[in-house]
């Protein structure tokens, strides 16, 4: 009798954001769909209200970082995220524009991925307080595999002074 193959779970950090409609409900819905379709949540930060990034002429965002355990490869994860965003009604519009839901892959284990339409770790995460603050809450000692610095050190070096308020 052959043993069942053991699937290896990878810790993946995702940033969720919304600034349209019922923002808190959007985050809850996205989290529930992620749990059903991509992987079981293992950790989650509080929800934070944050200033918009890039285009300042829009409503404030609610952001949250979650860590899930998944068996999906990076491409499968990205496809699953796109499916969830579409299912929730997101349409791609302007860069840094208003969003019903936005789900970004921050880290996929310790892997570095540079592929068409997919960069992991997220190439801008170390520049954004709205990512670093909730990430620091759940994983302050996580080391960025490219920058070789822990999240708390990246936050201390971050030039982004925008407000990130726990709600």
Q: Round to whole Å and give the CA distance between 79 and 72.
A: 10
75 is catalytic: no
Q: What is the pLDDT of residue 120?
A: 97
Q: What is the pLDDT of residue 31?
A: 97
Q: What is the pLDDT of residue 116?
A: 85
Name the residue ranges covered by the structural domains of the chain.
10-166
Q: Round to whole Å and give the CA distance between 167 and 165.
A: 6
Question: Architecture of 10-166 per CATH?
Answer: 2-Layer Sandwich (3.30)
Q: Which of 102, 111, 115, 152 is catalytic?
A: 102
Q: What is the pLDDT of residue 6?
A: 60
Chunk the chain into consecutive blocks of 10 residues (it has 167) and report each block's average pLDDT, rounded to whole numbers: 72 97 98 97 96 84 98 96 93 75 96 92 96 97 97 96 94
Q: Please tell me the pTM assigned to this model.
A: 0.93
104 is catalytic: yes
DSSP letter assigned to residue 2? P
28 is catalytic: no
Q: Which of 73, 99, 115, 159 is catalytic?
A: 99
Would you state the structure tokens that stand for residue 147, as one six-digit string?
């920058």
Give the helix/strand (H/E) hosting 24: helix 23-37
Q: Could you tell me which of 6, 13, 2 has the C-alpha nearest to residue 71? A: 6
């Amino acid at each position: 009798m052959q043993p069942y193959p053991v699937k290896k779970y990878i810790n993946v950090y995702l940033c969720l954001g919304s600034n349209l409609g019922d923002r808190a409900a959007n985050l809850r819905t996205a989290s529930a769909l992620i749990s059903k379709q991509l992987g079981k949540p293992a950790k989650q930060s509080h929800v934070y209200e944050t200033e918009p990034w890039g285009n300042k002429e829009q409503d404030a965002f609610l952001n949250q970082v979650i860590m899930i355990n998944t068996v999906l490869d990076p491409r499968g994860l990205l496809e699953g995220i796109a499916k969830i965003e579409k299912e929730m009604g997101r349409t791609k519009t302007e860069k840094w524009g208003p969003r019903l839901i936005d789900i970004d892959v921050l880290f996929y284990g310790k892997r570095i991925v540079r592929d068409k339409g997919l960069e992991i770790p997220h190439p801008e995460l170390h520049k954004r307080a709205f990512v670093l603050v909730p990430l620091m809450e759940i994983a302050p000692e996580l080391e960025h595999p490219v920058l070789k610095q822990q999240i708390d050190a990246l936050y201390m070096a971050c030039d982004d002074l925008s407000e990130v308020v726990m709600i």
